[in-house]
Amino acid sequence: YDAYLKAMLATGFRLPKENILLSIGSYKEKVEMMPSVRRIFESGFKLFATPGTADFIQEHGIDVTALEADKAREGYSLEEYLSSNKIDLYINLPSKNSFRRPATYVSNGYRSRRMAIDFSVPLITNVKCAKMFIEAMARFSMDKWEIESVDYITSHRTTVLPGLVNITALLPGGDGFEQATRAAICGGFTMLGISAHGADAFATTGDQSVSKVKSAGRGHAHTDYVVEIAATEANPAAAAALSADAPILYVSFDRSHPVHVDKYSAVSEHFKAWPQNSTVITNASGNDLATMLLLASLFSRQIHVTDVRTPEDLDLIDLSRARGLCATCDVSVYALFADRLPAIEGLQSNVQPLWSRLPAIDCFTVGTLPAQAAKAAGVKDVNPATLGYQLVLPLLYTAVSEGRLTSTDVVERFCNAPRRIFGLPEQPDTYVEIHRDRLVRIPPKSDDAKWFPDILAKPAHCAVHRVVMRGKTLLLDGMFYDQGLAPVGRDLCHVLRTMSSGPSGKQFAQPPAMAAGALSVKTAAEARPTVHARKSSLAMSPAVVPAIEVDTIDEVDAVSAGLDVQPLAVDETALVTRIERPLPESRLADVMARHGNQNPFYMKHVLSVRQFTREDLHLLFAVAQEMRTVVQRSGMLPLLTGRVMAAVFYEPSSRTSSSFQTAMLRLGGQVFTANSESSSVAKGETLEDTVRTFGSYADIITLRHPQPGSVQGAARFANIPVLNAGDGIGEHPSQAMLDTFTIREELGTVNGLTITLVGDLKNGRTVHSLARVLSQYKNVTLNYVSPASLAMPESIKRDVALRAPYVEQHEFTELTDAVLAKTDVLYVTRVQKERFDNEEDYERTRSAFVIDNEVMRKCKRNMIVMHPLPRVTEIAPEVDTDQRAAYFRQMQYGMFVRMALLALVLCRNF
């Protein structure tokens, strides 16, 4: 359903918002459409209909407004509603009138369809398409689907990054929490450390201010966040008491902000009171930084220095590390590109020295520089907490293209290192897709263009294409994907791990290198730690997450920059970490809900198709469709983890045995097999004892036996469900189920079809079961084509006639052109040699019917050929390439049906 709806949307088809108009011609299609009409009504849409359709719908208790085509009352004109675009979707199903009409005759239905096209009203004119679209739309309105990589093709170079972390985000003022976190999402950031200081005089210093910030974030944050608390000379004890709610202590020496620390003795008091394993951040520089590092050493504290702007401070931090102090630091991205910013004292001259000391930098941040630059440029009427996020990746990947950075450096400093240093939790199913070669277009009147005008003069590349957080797409091509989705950000204060300095930045900050460990790139003159040491670090640290390069060309970038590219013998163990794209969960619970949460298969033996009604089979088929979707997306669905199936086959089997075993494995279960040669049957053990034995080991038994009725007899002695996988010439219920599912999937319905069964109908258990299943559908015609000696048993024909007197049954001894011309499904079976008493009888009938290209030319263009397989000579190999040959697709459908059958038998609900 999601694929169908996405395909429709890709053509420009618009989803209806409120009003849907229905005009259904034939009575048959009115009946067929009623469940779908009820579905859209229950989904909240307002229904309109032409008079005849409206009467029929109202008879079924659904509220609908009738619109008239001719002489309409005021306000009830079909023409008026279509011409004024009051209708969002028009479903018009014309009646198939076989009477000849004058060439000049124009029906009301045609006029209304023509108007829908003229006024760009979405129009559907096919009943199957209408049902499919309504079901897809109803599911979409309940649970908006994810956009996946299979939904689009792009020519851009795509890189997948983990969600980025900004550890010192400016404290939003007033009601700006949602606005600030939306801006962060637009830049690819999914986690923020909310700084204790705002652009105004506000700071989190005590219980009330911390509570105020948390209240502002609760229900309004689009990113995950952790709140920091500001150190003052008066709050050492109060700050320590709040460490559970604000687990990061921010010691500010910024004299321009009202809330800061002047006395070093106050810092000592904070170090004494603050919990040992909780984080301390400072923005100290110069002499203040030297004193902070000394105090941290005396109190055996790990300390993080934020917003480092001078090479001297970096050298001092590096020296402290060499003496054994656990000190880490971060630099604002904009300090590395300050030569492109409006003049701020001292910044431009430090750009190159900072780049030269890149190995000493642990983390990147957005920092306070955007707010300071906006203030210096006189920019007004902006929220300082929103500035800078959307320009970070374009600037960094400009440096990547110039050979100054790699994707690995970006991921390490904006994701791995912040999480490691501050004990931030992992965000499952969270990632950012970027288009590295896509031009970033910043509107000239945007807030970022006001404080960073150089971005307009020198356009950058690297656009954020998609941001996914906990499996939900939040941002797609610059727009929030689901406008109705409530903010999903969480307060992380209670889930922080113990802080750790981890490897220093030197171990990760390398000369430009291939992301994900593919190449090592370094200049000949540089004597830095080798890439092999870095590879070992990656292998030892599971927290390190590489960027996934969908189209990596860093080698070309590096060569163009004049660097020496050397190959690396990659240790596979170093590359085990991956960013996994989330897969949508199965909708099995929805399927069960639509069927009243009643499971007629649960813990039942499946011995004959006569056990189950048409509604039961439709539940099975609906679950099989979901199984198909899950297998195609993720390969398995662990519903039966810990369950064991015994596959007991006393007759040779390839497809049925393999299909059941594969179905069990794809559902997370396990299988053991047995046959007449490997089991105690060879010693004379009875079938009943074998079933009792396997019932002690397994949760379900799949049994095939050559004697008709043997499986039913054995099931009486089993204390677990038994599935009949074929009992001689008796029945094969799962094959009949998958055959019916195949017909529905290939042709859309079983009702009204002509199905021709060809071959050994006497001994073919598959056709016995299939005929009984098909008798549950309306207006089905069954043609039995076989040699006289292999005709369909009278008991089967009598059973079909009793169950469904409206099903037509015809017998033929030849496959005539007239039969072929009317056939929708040509079901071919082999003549079973093992069922004959002598070789002569078999040879006389084995090639009675052969389907080849000559036969196929006499068939309909939209029919299908099926076969339970194995085939011998009854279908020529030349038919395999015909698109109507469905027998190999039929095998795959069988796995989905058997997955559904096993799940329904062993699971009461999903």
Neighbouring C-beta atoms of residue 473, cutoff 10 Å: 20
User: Which residue is it, tokens 């309105």?
Assistant: 141
The residues annotated as belonging to the active site are 655-656, 683, 704, 732
Tokens of 829: 């079976």
Alpha helices in 755-847 (DSSP H): 765-774, 794-803, 817-822, 839-845
In percent, the amount of the chain with pLDDT more than 90 equals 29
Q: Which of 548, 550, 541 is nearest to 573 (CA)?
A: 541
Range in 6-20, 70-84, 676-690, 776-790 with the lowest mean pLDDT = 676-690
Please say if the pLDDT value at position 152 is more than 70: no
Cβ contact 848:761 at 8 Å: no
**Residue 675: what pLDDT?**
74
What are the tokens at 426?
Answer: 């992992």
- The identity of residue 270, as a single letter, is H
- Give pLDDT tens digits for 515-549: 333 323 332 233 333 333 333 333 333 334 445 44
- pLDDT-based confidence at residue 571 (cuts at 50, 70, 90): very low
| CB crowding 287-311: b at 16 or more within 10 Å, else e | ebbeebbebbbebebbbbbbbbbbb
Q: Give pLDDT tens digits for 786-835.
A: 888 888 888 888 888 888 878 899 999 888 899 999 999 999 988 876 66
Q: Which residue has the higher pLDDT, 155 or 243?
A: 243
Please say if the pLDDT value at position 486 is more than 90. Answer: no
Token pair of 266, please? Answer: 């106050």
Query: How far is residue 764's CA from residue 135's CA, in Å, rounded to a whole number?
Result: 37
DSSP 553: -
Report whether pLDDT(509) > 70. Answer: no
Could you tell me if 678 and 672 are in contact, meaning their C-beta atoms sit under 8 angstroms apart?
no
Instruction: Check residue 521 and give its pLDDT.
Output: 30
> Is the peptide bond between 870 and the residue preceding it cis, with omega within 30 degrees of 0?
yes
| Residue 679 vs residue 25, higher pLDDT | 25
Length of the chain: 910
The H or E element spanning position 434 is: strand 431-439
* Residue 646, CA distances (Å) to 140, 891, 904 in order: 40, 21, 17
- Mean pLDDT over residues 734-748, rounded? 90
Helices 177-186/389-401 angle, 10° precision: 20
Apex CA 836: angle with CA 833 and CA 839, to 5°? Answer: 75
Whether the CB-CB separation of 354 and 311 falls below 8 Å is answered with yes
Q: Is 705 in contact with 640 (CB distance < 8 Å)?
A: no
Q: What is the pTM of this model?
A: 0.53
Looking at residue 749, its pLDDT comes to 85
Q: Write down the mean pLDDT value for the chain.
A: 81
**Among 826, 841, 836, 834, residue whose Cα is nearest residue 874:** 826
Residue 258: pLDDT band by 50, 70, 90 thresholds? confident
Question: Using one digit for the tens of pLDDT, what is the confidence trace for 64-75?
Answer: 998 887 666 677
Q: Which whole number is the average pLDDT over 896-909?
A: 92
- Selected residue with higher pLDDT from 102 and 135: 135
Q: DSSP letters along 509-546, please?
A: --SS--GGGSEEEE-TT-----HHHHHHHHHH-TT---
Segment of 171-185, 223-237, 870-884 carrying the highest mean pLDDT: 223-237
Q: What is the pLDDT of residue 573?
A: 35
What pLDDT was estimated at residue 757?
A: 93
Whether the pLDDT of residue 349 is over 80: the answer is: yes
Q: Is the CB of residue 250 less than 8 Å from the CB of residue 230?
A: yes
Q: Nearest CA to 897 among 598, 606, 660, 593?
A: 660
**Between these two residues, 826 and 8, which has the higher pLDDT value?**
826
Residues 186-197, mean pLDDT to the nearest whole number: 90
Q: What is the mean pLDDT of residues 501-521?
A: 35
Token pair, residue 340, equals 């492109």
Q: Are 178 and 480 in contact (CB under 8 A)?
A: no
Residue 690's φ and ψ, nearest 5 degrees, are -60, -45
Q: Do the beta carbons of residue 170 and residue 385 sit within 8 Å?
A: yes
Q: Tell me the per-residue pLDDT of 602-614, one tens digit each, with 9 for 90 and over.
A: 999 999 888 888 8
Residue 846 pLDDT more than 90?
no
